[in-house]
Amino acid sequence: MLSVPHPFIYESVTPGPAHPTSEEGTSESSPVETLFANSPTGDTPREKTVLIVDDDMALRTTAALILESQGFKVLSAPNGLEALNLVQSNPQIGAVILDLLMPVMDGEETFRQLRRFWSEIPVIVISGFHFTEIAPRFPAPAPEAFVQKPFTFESLIAALGRVLA
């Protein structure tokens, strides 16, 4: 099988502890706080707003709770059209987590519009499709990251930390 190079960051799904503990049993910094600890701009996760775009309400709600527990402000939308309206009215959005298959406006069209009007906002595509299947659908510049469903929230947080770093 040929390996097709593409610009996505591919995040494998591997289970692991949400918050590792030190030998003394105390909780260490969250994975996101650790990623931003040495940021040259001084940004912290608490200064970042993330938009989750997925028609699955359970996924949006759960992801929002997890990301908020990590210090992010979270907005959510059930489709691309509502997402674009939120991006237009919320210039503080630092990243978009975008599903592909949604009603009203799908992820591909939403991505094209985000690149057209807000190209500086990093996009993480989440999908049940394998990245080699969807990579050709996206024009350059491609999304900054891809996380395949089902995913662990650790893998989503890690991808988010990389695109915001």
Return the SS3 of 60.
helix
- At residue 49, the pLDDT reads 92
- At residue 140, the pLDDT reads 76
The residue ranges of the chain whose pLDDT is under 70 are 1-47
Residues with Cβ within 8 Å of 73's Cβ and at least 6 positions away in sequence, in order, are 46, 48, 49, 50, 92
- At residue 26, the pLDDT reads 44
Q: Are strands 73-77 and 145-148 parallel, antiparallel or unpaired?
A: unpaired
Q: Which CATH superfamily is domain 46-164 in?
A: Response regulator (3.40.50.2300)
- At residue 47, the pLDDT reads 53
For residue range 99-129, what is the model confidence (pLDDT) as tens digits?
Answer: 988 889 888 899 999 999 998 999 999 887 7
- At residue 14, the pLDDT reads 31
Q: How many CB atoms lie within 10 A of CB 12?
A: 9
Task: Kindly list the domain boundaries of the chain, sorted by start residue.
Answer: 46-164
Q: What is the pTM of this model?
A: 0.72
